[in-house]
Each structure stands twice: as structure tokens, then as C-alpha cells.
Chains A and B, each alone.
Chain A
Amino acid sequence: MKRFWSLFLCGLSLFVWAGDTLFEFSDPSGDDFGAGTLLYPSSPDFERGDLDLTSFSAQLEKDGVWFTVSFRNAVRSPKTRTSEISGDPLVDIARYGFFNLNVDIYIDTDHQLGSGNVESLPGRGVEIARENAWEKTILLTPRPREAQSLYLALMKGREKRKLDRDWDAQRAKTVASELEAWVEKNLFFPDKIKVRGHDISFFVPSSFLGQPKPDWGYAVLVSGADLEQSVNHGFLGQKEPGLMIMGLADGRPRWQFGIQPDSDLFQPPIVDLLANDVALQKKMLSHYNREQLPKIFAVRSEKMAPPIFADLPKAKLEAKATAQPTPPAPAETQPRVAPKPEPENAQKPEPPPQAAPAPTKSVADRLRELEQLRKDGLISEDEYQKLRAKILNDL
């Protein structure tokens, strides 16, 4: 027993250093219901409050940023739990001290209309408002390495479907390496994570994030984590698999979030998001139809004008589902494709929201063409870099 106490006291003699606080945003408590009608699963691993985001903060360290997300309930530990498909201990699968939630953070670093990406990660069912298009995305998830592998696999599959008959071994190799480079530059999956009480803190190095600025915008989404990709999103009526995200089903199912009677099954499976009031969250998550996804606006440290919700295409919100039973839309339902980012020239007036036509050439071909233009001296280095970034954003 003496040895124990001396060891404990030794641990206290190390240096303590704390970084500067970059920002701290608070989120209303009790708004973990998505657009207003989500129900928690009936599994004992989920309880109201578990995914209720209450604050999002950041502390600057010498070589990066420690972000912290706080929840109304204490973060659940994977200890004593087992995998749902094998009975193996969940701590071997979810190594970082949490297992039932994801947090997406989309960072708008330049506030340039049309600059950046609007598409969210697979399965989120939302897009980021063009005014806050993101340049960097961080996904806090219980299995970061696996999520990164899965994301690359999903994107490769998407590219393959786009290219269809033009797909061959050479293109596969080129696409793979370009995707890896793009993910390395734009997406980060933290694996330096600490869980304490209600908080999950995670480190993002400055080699990815750069030097954070006070005027950056953050769109933060909280969703249920599907650790083992067991949800069949096609069965739920979606065109593409989600990235480790739980889906929605009627009533109160065991392993998905439920929805209240007469709610739309195609609402996004986002349980909570960072917004300064509940009404705004509900509005963001319910302003959609089959032609346009819900748009999520970011928050910034500076005072912002309230977000503007443009009219939806076809001029109508879809009526809420009636009481009459309606079979779920099969997989061939109109895809809810995120509109492609607007051209970089921000001076153009904002066009009406619509799905941009898909490029006729593959990303690889366009990059090769661009390279040739540079070699031939037909474009400057600066123009080359800008256009290259634009083409890569099409991924």
C-alpha cells in the first residue's frame, strides 16, 4: 500500500501546461432530437443526453489544437460491452474510451462564397451551406483508422461508378493516390483522444490545421456511431453507404435512432448540432426536400448575421408523411446528391441551388490536361494551383 501511494504522488510531480483558449461555444441542452422528432434507440447503450452536445471549445497548444466536445451525460465507456456481431470485447474495437457517437466538424477557413466544399461525410444527409463551405473536416469517431480506410473505399467506389467503362487499372491507381493525397490534406481522423467525464478532447496537429484564426466558422454535427458498419443504408432508402453512422427507422428500434409517428424517414440522422438556439437547429435540419439536402450553417466567434434559408427547389417543402402507410422508397429513389461547389469566381451572383452537372472527364484526366497546359506555358503557376485545387474539390 505504501508503494502505491508513492507511485501516485510521483505522477503529480510532472509539469502541467495548459494552452490558450481559442474559443468556447455552448449549445442548448435538451436538443438531442435532430429536427425535432428523433427518438433514442432502445439499446441500453443509448440514453437521452448521451449525444446532447452542450459545448465545443478549443485550446491552442504549441503544435496543434486540443478540441473538446462536451455532452449532457457522462461519456459511455466501451468496457464490459461486446461487439454486436462477434461477442468480442468492445474495448478491442473502440480503443479510445467512447463508442456510441461521432462528431463531424466542418471548418470554413476563408468565408469565400463558393470556395470550399459543401458535401458532408457519407450518410449524414446534409450539406454545408455555401456561405460556410469547408476547407477542413475533422471526424471524431470511435474507430478513426477504420473510418479513414472506409472513407477511401467509399470514395473509390463512387469514382468508379462515375467513370464506369472508363475505369481500368491505371485509373484505379491514379485515383487511389489522388484520393489519399486529398484526404491527407482535407480530412483528419483524430486518434489522440482523451475521455473524461462529460468531455471528449482530441488533438489536431497544426500540420493539418495550420494556424487557427478567430474568424473561422465551425459546423459541428453529432450522430450515432455504427462501429461495425452494420446498418444497411440501402435498406433505409439511401443510395450510398454511410460512414459509421447509425440510420433512422420508425418507432424506437434497438440499433438505430427512431422517429416519431408521421415523421419523415428521410430526415438526416443528425442527433444534435452546434447552433445557438433550438429553433435554428430544427429549421436547419427540416429545410429540405428530395431535390435539396438540409443546409447547415457554421458558427463563428464573431457576431454573424442570421442565416438565410433560400427557397427550396420546386418552391415547396415536402408535406410531412401522412398517417397512411407508405412503403419506404427503394434504393432507386432520386439520389440526394449534394450540389457541386460553385466556381471559384466569387463575384458571380449566387445561382439558384441545383445539382451541378457532373464533369464529363474524370478527375485524373482533367489534372493531366491541366498539367499539360502548364507545361505548354498556357497558364501561370498561380492559375495552375488554383485550378488544381478546384478540380480536386470535385472529388
Chain B
Amino acid sequence: MKLSKCLTVLAFFILPALILVAQDDRKIDWTGNIYTKWLDGDRRTNTGLYNNSEFGNGDTGQGTEFELFFKAKVSRQIEIGGRIKARFDRNFWSNGGGFADDENEPKSAQYMKFRGAYVRVTPGYSWIDSATIGSNDWGQFDALTFGKIRYIDRDNISGLLFQGSNQSKSFRWDVARVSLPKLWAGPNFSTGDLSQSDAAYVGQGRFTTGDWTIDAIGQYVIDREISGLDQDNRDGVDLSQRYRNTVMALKAKGSVSSVDLAAAYYHSDFYTVFEGTGNTRFTPTLNGAADDDVILFNIDVNDIAEGFTIRGQYFDVGAAYMSVMAARRESDILLTEGHDGSWGWSRPDYNVGSNARGSARSGIGYGGWDGHAAQVVSINADNDFTDFDEQMSESVLGWKGFTIAPELEIGDLSLTAEYTSLDYNTNWQAYGESSADLGIYPGMDGVHSWGLGGDWRSPYSAYQDKKTTIALIKGDYVVDVGEGIELKFRYKVVNDEDKRVTNPALLSDAYRFPASVITDVAYDDRDADYTAFGLSAGYQLTRDLYGMLEFERFEVDLVDGSIDMTPPLMDSWEPEFGWINYLTGDHEKNKIGIHLKYFLSGMEFGLKAQFFDGSYTPRFYNGVDGKLVEFQPTGATVQTAIGAISTAKVDLEQYRLKAFMKVQF
């Protein structure tokens, strides 16, 4: 007995040593990066190092993120890796190491967080290429089914991924089981109390033959809870479904001569027992069972004539199309540019609200986001934790129409144009029910969807009869002076008309506070004309330094119902919070921006500074004999349904800057 004990103890010490000796030849590769951001702006908010963040945004401050990646080849068949990153978004330099009032706040104290790790197995069998166990960005599939996880959440979502292909590589398959992130992947932003087994199962097959590719995708998401009916635990615990979501897709694309064709059909089926929580109007899923479809058809006719190509798309996105794991941002499913991000600020604070309520300093601010919006099919479009230079995402559930986009090259001038006609599957009265209270569609995110930019997050309005047209032309040209001056221009017009309530019998259902203020269906009509013009000039100042100057001008001519108008389904407390503003009138803003980029052998600097100057001139309409008629106010204010509105012109300005340094090692 003593001898066997001795041998056991000896083995206990020798074996690890042997393993360590064997591992001496292996190598762990450490790489990483340091990213430092500097924000500056005249709104003077410093509750986060992102311009737009629901839980504390900022336009002032400096902070550093540190990220480490590790990777190792255990053997030819096994690779491991992972990511460790400092917490953000309150990683201010001024924290002084976290020894301040918010020392216990992990984002301020900049704790290093284990973001995720993976093991990738390449077993060497002919029918499987890899198996990855652990974290992933899940970009293998499709933005309308299981979309790539956004950058900041990359590696936060883990699961099992198996990938394979046949010998000739004409067929490829991917199968995954992904644990549902309980923060947002379910009704009421939750996957319930029993969350650890909730998962999305997704598989796709891709077959390629000649110039053609055919994809089939299937996804099943299931959220189960402990059944309230099971009172006896002695034989295990029964489960009930909180929600399930099935999505099937069939896609094909290929080329015939110089014509590229692509077609896609998606069908979703959603079921949930969640019916809303009364006060919480916003939830990232439907509030009931429904199924719907998406159809996309693309055609690109290349080189019709010398340098001339036409691209076209037909799209029909069902109102009730539901895919919980569809991409929420950093994807763009439609050819159209959509709306401009500059009007995406959801709390314009021109005449209602106050600094005390914070509305003027909430979110991205007067300048909105740069560029145009990207289109996603998620109800849960996500613009949280973004800066002004990133692209805004907008949900396009219910959009249907077509886009034609010709491209032309004339010498060194490249021109692109677009015409889009939009109709909506979400044009309905009371969500298609007898009352808006019966709809399964989550209400718009507050009613700050009202007014200027609409709401990028929620595509549903209880009362809508809307049409939109988008037209633009843009071009770029390099002037052969020195290193070449890169000139770009664009001109864009968007016309948006919404009759809202068209059934007189439902006016009282739509307008509840104050009651019955709208007495005719014509008095709540919205008509908005957006115009944008932009010009920029870029130049490579030195080999490592690039600079660009830009000018943009934005105008909106908006008529948003009569002065008796309130948003449909508005709650009594909303105007006080500044989420509702009176916005009928002429809006304009001019933007001047400078953009610098500097590169030095592995280190990059970037800087964007923008100045906005603009105004809002209110106009006022009464409803008269079934029409909206403008009147000239005589006093300093006009009494409207949302309060006394000043008749004075409002001048607005904003300055903002973002600079960053990025070093990779």
C-alpha cells in the first residue's frame, strides 16, 4: 500500500512536469492593440466615451482601450485563441486609475475582461473542414437570418460551429448552436429566468456550379422556461416555450453574360406567450404569433455601354418578418441609401423640454450621424455605443419597393445615381385591428419617432399610410494637380408623405391625449421634403498624411399636421420629457468638416472635426374644411396641443471632434 501511494504521488508530480516539457516547443502568440479616443464638443457631456449611448453618452473626454489576443497551435489540428479587453465606455484618463467616486464601477476602473475564447479543431477528415467551440462573430450566415454580431460584441457570443465541404468544394455547409445572449435576444429584452439552455440552431448549405451559387439556410431559436403547470419536481422539471422563432431562406445568385442576378426568399414564423408589459412599449420582438416573408431580387446589368452599368433591386419586407438574431447594425440589406443619418437625432430640442430633463444633451445631437443609413431587418436596430462618424442603422421592416441605380464613367468622372420608390407593408390603421391596443407590433420607441428623422429603431406606427421617394446623384473626380485632388459631390432629395389616420372612426383611438383633438383625417398628415448637398476635397498632403475638407447642407421642409396634432398614442408625460417637439417648419443646417489621417508604420492617427450651423423656422397650420391651411402667427407664441410654441426662429450650432490613435503590436 505504501509503495503504491508513493508511486501515485510520484506520478502526480512527474506527469505535469513531463507535460510542461512537451509543451516547451509550443508557442503562444500574443498580439493586441491600444486604441485611444479623444472626444471634444460643445454639448459638454461626459458620461461615456461614445457620442450616442443610451446609458450615458459623451462628447468630451479622452480614454484608452487595451486589447490582447492570444493564439496558440497546440498541434496541427488544434488551435486555441481568445481575447482580453479593458472594459469601456467610462475609461476616461481623468479617472486617475479609478480612484474616484465611481471606483467601483467596472467600466471606470477599467478592469480587464475576458471577452471570449475558442478552440478550433481541424480533425483532417475529408467531410469536415473545422469545428470551432467558443466565441465567434457569427458572420458565416446571413444578415436577415443570423447576422454578424456587431464589432463591440464580437467574441461575446459563444457556441459550437461545424463547417465542412465536399471534395470538389462545390458544396459547403455550416451548422451552429449559439447560446442566446440574455440581454437582448428575446421579448422584453430578456430570455427569461431559465436562460442557460436557450439557443439558436442554424444551418446553411451552399452549392456552387459554374457561375451560380444556391444557398439554403434554416434557423430555429427556442427560449424555454420552467412550466408553471408542473408542481412535482421529483421526476424532473417540465418546460414551456416562452418564444420560438423559425426562419428559412433560399437564395440564388449567378451571372448570365454581363448580367448579375440574385434572388432571395425568406420566411419567418414567430410564436411567443409574451404579450407586453403595459408600460414597456418597446420590445425587440413581436408581441404575439405571426409569420411573414421577405423577397429580394437584384439585377446588375454591367457595361451596357462603355462605362455604363445599371443596378436594380426589388424588395418586399413583410411587416411581421421576425428573426431575433438578424443583424442589428454593420450590415446593409438594401441597395438604396435610405435616409440620411444627419437627421437621426431622436430628441431634437427646439421648443419643448429643458436642460433639466437633459433632452438637448441626450444622444448623438443636432448633427446626427455622418453619411446615410444602413438598412437592417431587425426590430432591434442598434445605434448604441456609436460615434458620429459611424453609419446609422435603420430598421426596414415593412418596406417594399424598388431601386434603380445607374453608374456612369465619363473619362475620370464617376457618377452614380439612385431612384427609389418606397411603399410600406406597415401602412395600416390600428395595426390592422379594431384598436391599436390589439396590435402585436411593439410601439415606437417613445414617440420621439415623431417629427424630423423618424425613429431609426422601431419601424411600426399604429396609424400609417406612407409613401417615400428617394433620388440622388453623386460623383467623384480626381483633379490632376500634384498628388491628385479627390473631389466628391452629392445631391439628394427625399420626399416622405404619410396620411396617418385615414379612417375617421379611428381618430379617437389614435389621438388619446388630449382627447379628440383631431377632427378630420386630413389634419394629421405629414409631408416632409429632405434635401442634402455635399462637396468634399481630399488630398494626400505627404506620403503618410491625408486631409479632406467637406461641406454639406441639409434642408427639411416639414408639415407635420395641424397645431392640434399630437403623435398617435402619445402619453401625457411625454412632452415634459422633451421627447415631443413641435417641428413643422423649415429646418436647415450647414456642416463644415475636416478629416485628417496619419499613418506611421503600424500606428495610425485619425481626426474628424465638424461644425454645424443651422436654424429652425416654425410654421403653423390649422385644419380648415378638410385641409391644412397655414396661418401667420401674431404673437410670440402659438398654443398647440403639446404646449405653447415660440414663433421665433431657433438658431442651432454644434461643434464636435473625434480623434483616435491606434497601435497594433
A interface residues (Cβ-Cβ under 8 A, vs B): 1, 3-4, 7-8, 11-12, 14-18, 29-30, 33, 39, 42-45, 47-49, 72, 74, 79-89, 92, 145-146, 148-150, 153, 191-192, 194, 196-198, 228-230, 232, 234-235, 249-254, 258, 260-262, 265, 321, 323, 325-328, 330
Contact = CB atoms under 8 A, between A and B. Distances in A.
Nearest to B662: A86
Nearest to B301: A197
B76 interface: yes
B169 A250 contact: no
B31 interface: yes
Contacts of B438: none
A42 B410 contact: no
Nearest to B76: A325
Given A4-B471, A192-B478, A48 B411 contact: no
Contacts of B123: 261
A251 B132 CA distance: 10
A48 B208 contact: yes
Contacts of A261: 122-126
Contacts of B121: 251
A232 B29 contact: yes
A18 B472 contact: no
Contacts of A80: 330-332, 374, 391
Contacts of B33: 85-86
B475 A11 contact: yes
Nearest to B305: A16
B417 A8 contact: yes
B390 A230 contact: no
B27 interface: yes
A3 B140 CA distance: 43
A35 to B, nearest CB: 13
Contact of A235 (B29, B415, B544): B29
Interface of B: 25-27, 29, 31, 33, 35, 67, 71, 73, 75-77, 79, 120-126, 129-130, 136-137, 139-141, 148, 151-152, 163, 165, 169, 172, 174, 208, 210-211, 213, 255, 260, 300, 302-303, 306-307, 309, 330-332, 374, 389-391, 407-411, 413-415, 417, 469, 471-473, 475, 478, 484, 491, 493, 495, 540, 543-544, 546, 595, 597, 599-602, 606, 660, 662, 664
Contact of B122 (A194, A196, A230, A250): A250
A84 B33 CA distance: 11
B408 A12 contact: yes
Contacts of A14: 410-411, 413
Given A232-B29, A249-B79, A251-B120, A15 B410 contact: yes
B597 A33 contact: no
A85 B208 contact: no
Contact of B140 (A8, A30, A42, A325): A42
Given A4-B473, A42-B174, A89-B390, 14 more contacts: A7-B491, A12-B408, A44-B141, A72-B255, A74-B300, A82-B151, A82-B330, A89-B391, A149-B600, A150-B602, A194-B414, A198-B302, A262-B124, A328-B76
Contacts of B307: 16, 196
Contact of A252 (B129, B390, B469): B129
A1 B597 CA distance: 36
Contact of A44 (B139, B309, B415): B139
B129 A251 contact: yes
A89 B369 CA distance: 12
Contact of B71 (A11, A30, A87, A235): A235
Given A8-B473, A85-B33, A198-B302, A251 B491 contact: no
A388 B599 CA distance: 32
B660 A251 contact: no
A85 B71 CA distance: 16
Contacts of A15: 410-411
A15 B307 CA distance: 13
A197 B303 contact: yes
Nearest to A90: B330
A11 B408 contact: yes
B544 A39 contact: no
Given A4-B471, A146-B599, A252-B130, A17 B411 contact: yes
A66 B606 CA distance: 31
A1 B418 CA distance: 12
B436 to A, nearest CB: 34
A243 B152 CA distance: 27
B122 A251 contact: yes
Contact of B415 (A11, A17, A33, A79): A11
Contacts of B26: 327
Nearest to A194: B414
Nearest to A262: B124
8 contacts: A48-B172, A49-B213, A80-B391, A145-B544, A148-B543, A250-B76, A254-B137, A327-B75
A44 B122 contact: no
Given A79-B332, A191-B484, A149 B122 contact: no
A83 B595 CA distance: 17
Contacts of B126: 261
A322 B139 CA distance: 32
A150 B603 CA distance: 11
B300 to A, nearest CB: 6
Contacts of B130: 42, 250-253, 258
B491 A229 contact: no
A261 B660 CA distance: 42
Given A33-B169, A42-B163, A145-B543, A1 B389 contact: no
A325 B75 contact: yes
Contacts of B152: 87
A12 B73 contact: no
A183 to B, nearest CB: 11
Contacts of B390: 82, 87-89
A11 B124 contact: no
Candidate in A12, A150, A235 with the most chain B CB atoms within 10 angstroms: A235
Contacts of B415: 8, 11
A58 B121 CA distance: 44
Contacts of A8: 415, 417, 473
Contact of B165 (A29, A39, A84, A92): A39
A220 B469 CA distance: 45
Contacts of A254: 136-137, 139
Contacts of A328: 73, 76
Contacts of B491: 3-4, 7
A66 to B, nearest CB: 10
A321 B75 CA distance: 13
Given A87-B152, A192-B484, A252-B129, A323 B124 contact: yes
A4 B125 contact: no
Contact of B389 (A81, A88, A232): A88
